[in-house]
Structure 1
Amino acid sequence: MHGDTGSSDTTPLAGPGAGTLSSSRTALASACPTVLVGADGYPVALCTPIFGQVPTVHLLDPDDGSSLTTLQLTKGSLLGGVYAYIDHQDRLVVADGSRSLLRVGHHRDGEGRWSLTVDRSLSLASVIPEGDAVTGLAPDWDGRVWFATGGGVVGTADDTTGTVKALTLPAGERVANSISTAPEGTAVTTTHATYLLGSRDGAPKILWRKAYDRGSARKPGLLSWGSGSTPTFFGPAEGTEYVAVVDNADRAANLKVYRTADGSDVCSVPVLAAANGPGSENSPVGVGRSVFVAGTYGYPYPAVPEGAGDSVPASADFAGGLSRVDVRADGSGCSLVWDNALRSAAVPKLSTADGLLHTVVRDPLIPGTRGTSLLDPFRYVQIDPADGRVTRSAKVGVGSLYDTLQMAGTVAPDGAYLQGTVTGVLRITAR
């Protein structure tokens, strides 16, 4: 979902280029937070149907975005099965509600018909208690899959040997977002702290822990009482020198940057001030020395996970906001480069090929206001990361059918921008 194992939210592919922008919607009657494309060019979407909410995998036609075939998975928690990745054999790697690690492949028979099948399965039930579920997972550099559960179990799984090992983080700490991996270790942000974990003979061990200000309650537009970040690895040399998250402090949202090597502080910078929206449920975008933070304070999510707690205040207008922060060249601290009130309704993606930020914004029905309605217009936009200005945009639709629900988009090899919505998948192209 976040572009790579480091959750940089970047892509090496160029998005829609010169020409007239157009969009089409594949209606799947499902919220589709995860749309991924493997080496063969076929998009795979992991969706949750509006009715029944049984997670369903769709194989999409790369030419028009239509669904070629489907496979239902075992139902789990609201966030269970949201995060997934495509492996080296174009298989979707995901944990389902049965507490199993699955590799789902797509195959074509001799008559050209497609099917999705579970090619490999490994039970994680030996380390995940009944009632808990995997929230995030990612591969590491030793052939294992790391996972973290909502209840704070962090583990490794080797589905070639069947070996599963885990540890439990301190009581009361929940994992509400995905995890990130780098050669230096695995980053996990709980509702209280950010961790870097390594392994000893495959068994997870804590290398460092950094607590952050989680505020006095969950905020409107966030899905947990704590950071909304999947931790982001970034850096100018190796791409993993730093780890970034956004805290949940009461009066402001602060970008926290740590040194991956030892967890020492690089900076804490208030962000999203221009929008006056102190909260972000999105993973920061990280590339080189730059980090981009999109605000979600007040976003009208239709549901929140069980146990998330009441928000304070109970509701708020959608503030939005987009900020860029750069780590200084000598690593001595950070500087706010720009800050605006753009209302991104999705996790932005930065293309290192075309040099642009890509996202979908939610405009107010009444210009100049901050409220939301069922008739809000949605626009695909391209943003210049140098100054935060929108350089190009195109309306993709009006109304709740097009709600991108702060989900991440992805770029296909042909330049199409694929964006999940609450009812299916948008395909944005240039002609």
Structure 2
Amino acid sequence: MRDPLRSGHRVLAIAVSAAILLLLGSPASAAQPPANPWLGPAGSATMHGDAESSDTTTAAGPGTGPVRVQTAKLGAACPTVLAGRDGFPVALCTTQLGRTPTVFLLDPETTQPLTRLALPKGSLLSGVYAYLDNRDRLVFVDGANELVRVAHQHTSSGWRLSIAERTPLGSAIPEGDGVSSLMPDWRGRVWFGTNRGTVGVLDGSVAHTVRLGEQIANSISTAPGATAVATTHALYRLSAGPDGVPHVDWRVAYERGPGRKPGQLSWGTGASPTFFGPRTGTEYLAITDNAAPEENLVVVDARTGAPVCTAPSGLAGTELSPVASGDSVYLASTYGYPYPALPEGAGPSTPLLAPFTGGMTRIDVHPGGCATVWRNPERSAAVPRLSTADGKLYTITRQKPAGGARGSTLFDHYEAAVIDAKTGRASTAGRIGSGFFSDTLQMVGSIVPGRVQYQGTVNGVVAIRPAGAVQPAIAR
């Protein structure tokens, strides 16, 4: 029989712990994920900032004051905007005409394109999940199932993008399949996942694989000695020995829900797995499930897969990876977001339509479980990026015109928004544009030194800086 006194003490302890975390918790004091030596600078080297997919950066953002917005109209949707140690933004985009994957090198002072390089067509996700390596080369898998490294250099005739290396993946990719995501581990080997559920490890020119048999629709994440993969059914941890052969360490199934929700791109979790934690920055793994009518944050022990806590998110659905730092996790709703295109085979959503209402949540993990710290109604139209330097979440919000209809319209406008990570209070820094071509389409922004925030849109890239800020000198 349960001891009611002991239960009461436990509830009180949890409440006190949550209160202490709320008062004292600060993203700036949290443990940072370890930097992967095979990546570019943490915070801007991958779509989710780092190998662990924390969506954090140690660079300060533009802040809450007035901002200056520069727009590069590229005629292409740019879900991946990264920046290396040399400060030059590199965008992996898909052109509106021809749907051609194209790499753009942008001028860090004007944000205008310096040069571009067209690539073979692949799947939707192979044009999203890429990274910058430790030599500032853009790494991705092209439509020919070759791992490609694209370098940029200044020549006597101007800037140039060129393919520095090609590595065929060959028989490692099953017929009719394609790579959806990739990430290096701490030995320099490249892990990759395919749309139909194969996970591989490329060591030099040799690839070894293991078949999971479940769709992989989000990014792979790596930490020292571990690789995390979220399929449309379960969360996995994998590892590989000196021979490079991958194997499954554990598998944790989650609630899949009744089907693909409106505002999501696949049936199952919309999250890339996120390593985080207050001690090492990697002791926990987090995803969101696909439960209905409300999704849950699912946190497990990254070493064993043992449950840490499951907490209601307050969101009907999300396609975004959890943002996490220390013991805090931040979630944003995409439920009902009106994507103009879906991946092949996505199928109809359940329900068919829903308005995009938005909403954001902070949940803290503590010894007794999870506690919701705040919720706000912000309609984030991009993946938020947390600056641990200033304790702010930076995103783009979708705003309806005055008197606009419920949900979303073609006349919506998009605002640079700053959310206080401690309180959830939001402020608007400035408008980045209006209408379809300014849609940030739940894509990720990157924040770089100099308080510059780069954000992809349906039609190119915008740079957001503090008004009157002096641009730091860039070596050319």
| Cα deviation, residue 316, structure 1 | 0.6
Confirm or deny that 1:120 pairs with 2:165.
yes
For residue 208 of structure 1, report the CA deviation from its aligned partner: 0.6
Listed as ranges, the matches of 1:11-30 within 5 Å are 11-17=57-63, 20-30=66-76
Q: Does residue 410 in structure 1 map to residue 451 in structure 2?
A: no
Distance 1:367 1:319 in 2: 15
Amino acid at match of 2:335: Y
Q: Which residue of 1 aligns with 2:181?
A: 136
In the alignment, structure 1 segments of 5+ residues that lack a partner are: none
Aligned twin of 1:98: 144
TM-score by length of 1: 0.95
Q: How does 1:15-414 map to 2 (within 5 A)?
A: 15-17=61-63, 20-111=66-157, 113-158=158-203, 161-170=204-213, 173-200=214-241, 201-272=243-314, 277-328=315-366, 330=367, 332-366=368-402, 370-414=406-450
- How much has 1:213 moved relative to structure 2? 0.6
Segments of structure 2 that go 5 or more residues without pairing to the other structure are 1-46, 469-476
Find the residue that maps to 1:64 and give its secondary structure: coil
On the 8 A contact 1:15/1:416 being kept in 2, the answer is yes
The CA deviation at 1:131 is 2.0
| 1:304-343 deviation line (CA, Å, top 9, x unaligned) | 1111121011111002110000001x3x311111112110
Match status 1:10 vs 2:56 = yes
Q: Structure 1 residues 216 and 18 mapped into 2: Cα distance closer, same or farther (>3 Å)?
A: closer
- Paired amino acid for 1:318: F
Structure showing greater Rg: 2
For the Cα contact (< 8 Å) 1:184–1:260, is it kept in 2? Answer: no
* 8 Å Cα contact 1:271/1:339 also seen in 2: no
TM-score when normalising by structure 2: 0.86
Distance in 2 between residues matched to 1:226 and 1:36, nearest whole Å: 27
Q: Is the 8 A contact 1:184 1:261 kept in 2?
A: no
Q: Deviations over 1:30-87 (max 9, x none)?
A: 1100000000000000000111111000000000100000111110112223111111
Q: Letter of the aligned partner of 2:343 in structure 1?
A: P
Distance 1:14 1:195 in 2: 33
Contact map agreement 1:58 1:67 (CA 8 A) in 2: yes
Poorly superposed stretches of 4+, deviation over 6 Å: none
* SS at 2:170 equivalent: coil
Corresponding residue number in structure 1 for 2:31: none
Structure with greater helix percent: 2
Q: Deviations over 1:152-206 (max 9, x none)?
A: 1101112xx3111111103xx1011111000141100000000000002211100
CA RMSD of aligned residues (A): 1.2
Task: Name the CA distance, whole Å, in 2 between partners of 1:18 and 1:26.
Answer: 23
SS at the partner of 1:80? helix
> 1:21, 1:429 within 8 Å by CA — same for their partners in 2?
yes
CA–CA distance in structure 2, aligned partners of residues 392 and 49 of structure 1:
30
Percent sequence identity over matched residues? 53
